[in-house]
Structure 1
Amino acid sequence: MKSDSRIVMTLDAGGTNFVFSAIQSGEQIVEDIRFDSEANNLDKSLNNIIEGFKIVLSKVKEKPVAISIAFPGPADYPNGIIGDLGNLPAYRGGVALGPLLKEKFNLPVFINNDGDLYSYGEALWGFLPWINKKLEEANNPKRYKHLIGVTLGTGFGFGLTVNGQLYLGDNSMAGEIWLMRNRISPNEYVEEHASIRGVRRVYSELTGINISEAPTPKEIFEIGMGIKQGNKEAAIQAYKTMAQVVGDALANAITLLDCLVVIGGGLAGAYPLFMPFLIEEMKSDYVKSLDGKKVKRLMAEIYDLTNENDLKEFLVNEYRAIPVYGTNLIANYNPSKKIGIGITQIGTSKAIALGAYSFALNELNKKIE
């Protein structure tokens, strides 16, 4: 797509800010334009969206071919209808955002979840090309084609890209990982610990302070790493708890999907603190109740791709030649099953924007074909 000169206007919509831009040939050509999301006022919110795209339109030299938006769910994404959002209450009841913008700008409009577009951007432009290039440089013929992308921040987002195509499900609800059962607190869902509020919650509980007075996740990370003064044990435990519930949820996902995982979002920068606990959780064992024998949590070997030694082992070529019985033929056999867990290589916001851009062009190409 780097050779594709078509322009796509993009919007990354959050509960606080709307961020607008435009992308051409895989590069951002309009610097971020920010508007308040006006979460409780539909008129102001929609007017801000329209105004944001008008400004982007005034800054590009050629007419864009589409608008592509990352918007929180629930939503009827194929039809461009936004549903009952928790962080944007003004949109409850159903808002036909796609048809509105199509009417205003006379352009095709594509809307998807930010977690989905994050996965798509990382699969096409970020993590997946990066690891496959590493494998090529290591003379390893193995190539990965599928990718789980998760975001850790205000919430716990998820997206799945399969063979270069975004998997959305029949009801635009694929990958609602945030609703999985919470390993630490089975009566709660995962996001209650796999989020900013979850990290602050555990720290506040362990230190006896009100959650409103708890440090930010960045500060808690710095406390846990010994960079900043505070309750170091509580800080480490806060991220360990998050890592355990995230690791458990990802292990469930990998059991079904068998693909690499890339982590982004506001909490991803704390990976030096939480990643070892996440990997430990995914490498853990079940204990069979009848005979007490241990069974591995996952059939695949799990590698921390942020760790230099793990990355080196992951890249090792383990293919070997075996004879084809009764013939003089030789077959290549790879007995290893490897799954890598890593951190965004291009940044979460850029991955989402590139995912939105790529999705729009892909859909337009389908119509041409």
Structure 2
Amino acid sequence: MYDNDKRVVITLDAGGTNLVFGAMQGNRFIVDPITMPSNAADLDKCLATMTTGFRQVIDRLKEKPAAISFAFPGPADYPRGIIGGFLPNFPSFREGVALGPYLEATFGIPVFINNDGDLFAYGEALGGALPEVNARLEAAGSPKRYRNLVGYTFGTGLGIGIVVNGELNRGDNSCVETFCLKHKKMPDIIVEDGAAIRAVKRVYGELTNNPDHGLEPKDICDIADGKRPGDAEAARRAFAEMGEVAGDAMATAVTLIDGLIVIGGGITGARKWFMPAILRELRSKMRQIGGNELDRVQMKVYDLDDEAEFAAFARGERRALKVYGTDRTVDYDPQKRIGILVSKLGASRAISVGAYAFALSQLDTKNE
């Protein structure tokens, strides 16, 4: 979608350390990225930096951009472009900043701001995981197609985005979240504390009796892989616990959404150490008071990055079903199934694709 669109949308990757500005046309970046310090603790400096960065991008363009569209980390009234609330990475915005209206007044073009997890899911639904899986299903001769997607980003936090029937679900309060679900092993703690970068670092430190180890998840992954000295078993257990805790939260979300799951973020490089634990949680059992056992997730869950599992996922349990009282048959597949896979776009590109597509979809809607 929008691969051949000629409209230009300015983008921003807003991090607590740096702001990275760009511009997209036809789902491709058309200018080299411009990186500037965020100055996130000083509102005046931060807004001045944003203004400067956007102006530098515009100066590099051959035509007037159609919109500005980007993700912002944390709570906000996204439809109105107002940022505010608990923002660890942008403390100067906590009291509320009408960022969208400010930028619209400054540049005279529409501005669209969304949660980064939302745009990750939207980008994957339009140009990543969802069309890729559907194309593979078609190539395998399967009539099954998917329209719903739950996207998770693993990083300093645990982000989520939900797309239903190709539409981004932003909720009534711009507050579609799972970071605040209960931690499986510590029910009075939020799940994010067990399913983000800090969780891997903390658990590795606890298992090695060295909480001040100073290692990052990439280092811990290298230890798990045997590429770096350290406690390999502790490293693997740290990732496995993250997978277990995240999988518990995912099971709740996907039960309600009934769609594919895609995960992104730099930590996905350790996939082989945490994905088995996620799958175990998604495939785990629960019981009724009377003792009857049932699946935690009512759909069968497949690892779509595994070729053999994808083949079984595509095959399903199709059979001919006779129509009662006639000689007719209908094609019937009784197997309810979903799958999980790692982003092929990468979280940053998926967010940019989502931001670009969201802006153009909103512009098209207004012009109808």
| TM-score strictly above 0.5 | yes
Are residue 365 (structure 1) and residue 350 (structure 2) matched? no
The two structures have a TM-score, normalised by structure 1, of: 0.97
Residue by residue, what CA displacement relative to the aligned partner does 1:300-330 show, whole Å, maximum 9, x if unpaired? 1111122222122112253322122123332
Local SS of the residue matching 2:233: helix
Conserved? CA contact 2:316–2:335, under 8 Å:
no
Residue of structure 2 equivalent to 1:35: 36
Match of 1:309 in 2: 308
Return 5+ residue gaps in structure 1 as ranges: none
Matched, 1:107 2:109: yes
- Residue type of the alignment partner of 1:127: A
Kindly provide the amino acid, as one letter, of the partner of residue 179 in structure 1: C
Percent identical pairs in the alignment equals 49
> Is the 8 Å Cα contact of residues 244 and 277 (structure 1) preserved in structure 2?
yes
> Which shifted more, 89-98 or 10-19?
10-19
Report the aligned-residue RMSD.
Answer: 1.2
1:158 aligns to what?
160
The residue type equivalent to 1:286 in the other structure is M
Letter in structure 1 aligned against 2:333:
N
Question: What pairs with 1:1-369 in structure 2 (closer than 5 Å)?
Answer: 1-84=2-85, 85-174=87-176, 176-210=177-211, 212-291=212-291, 293-369=292-368
- Provide the rounded CA distance (Å) in 2 between the counterparts of 1:351 and 1:227: 30
The one-letter code sitting in structure 1 at the alignment partner of 2:59 is: S
In structure 2, relative to structure 1, the CA distance for the partners of 1:228 and 1:289 (3 Å cut) is farther
Q: Distance in 2 between matches of 1:298 and 1:18?
A: 39
- Change in CA separation of 1:220 and 1:97 when aligned onto 2, cut-off 3 Å: same
Amino acid at match of 2:279: I
CA distance in 2, matches of 1:62, 1:252: 46
Q: Which moved further from structure 2: 306-315 or 74-83?
A: 306-315
* Counterparts of 2:217 and 2:325, CA distance in 1: 62
Letter in 2 for 1:335: P
Cα deviation for residue 153 of structure 1 reads: 0.6
Are 2:303 and 2:340, in contact at CA under 8 Å, matched by a contact in 1? yes
Indicate the larger mover: 302-311 or 270-279: 302-311
1:266 shift after superposition: 2.0
Give yes or no for contact 1:67–1:108 (8 Å, CA) kept in 2: yes
Q: Which amino acid aligns with 2:45?
A: K
CA distance in 1, matches of 2:333, 2:33: 46
Q: Is the 8 A contact 2:191 2:246 kept in 1?
A: yes
SS in 2 for 1:144: coil
AA at the equivalent of 1:70: A
Contact 1:225 1:273 in 2 (8 A): no
Structure 2 unaligned blocks of 5 or more: none
Counterpart Cα distance in 1 of 2:61 and 2:167:
28
Q: Structure 2 CA distance, aligned partners of 1:264 and 1:165?
A: 20
Tell me how far apart the structure 1 counterparts of residues 306 and 118 of structure 2 sit (CA, whole Å).
26
Question: Any idea what SS the aligned residue of 2:326 has?
Answer: coil
Indicate the SS of the match to 2:57.
Answer: helix
- Counterpart contact for 2:301–2:340, Cα < 8 Å: yes
- The Cα offsets for residues 116-138 of structure 1, whole Å up to 9 and x where unpaired, read as 00000000001011111110110
Asked whether the 8 Å contact 1:146–1:161 carries over to 2, the reply is: yes
**Alignment length, in residue pairs?**
366
- Asked if the contact 1:119/1:161 (under 8 Å) is kept, the reply is yes
CA distance in 2, matches of 1:289, 1:326: 41
State the Cα deviation string for residues 249-282 of structure 1 (Å, max 9, x = none).
0001111110000000121111111111110121
Q: Which amino acid aligns with 1:340?
A: G
Mean Cα deviation higher: 147-156 or 265-274: 265-274
CA offsets 1:26-76 (integer angstroms, 9 cap, x no match): 111112211111121111111111111111101111111000010012101
* Stretch of structure 1 that moved more, 26-35 or 61-70: 26-35
> Quick check: 1:141–1:317 contact (8 Å CA) kept in 2?
no
1:288, CA displacement in angstroms? 4.1
What displacement does 1:227 show?
A: 2.0
SS at match of 1:328: coil
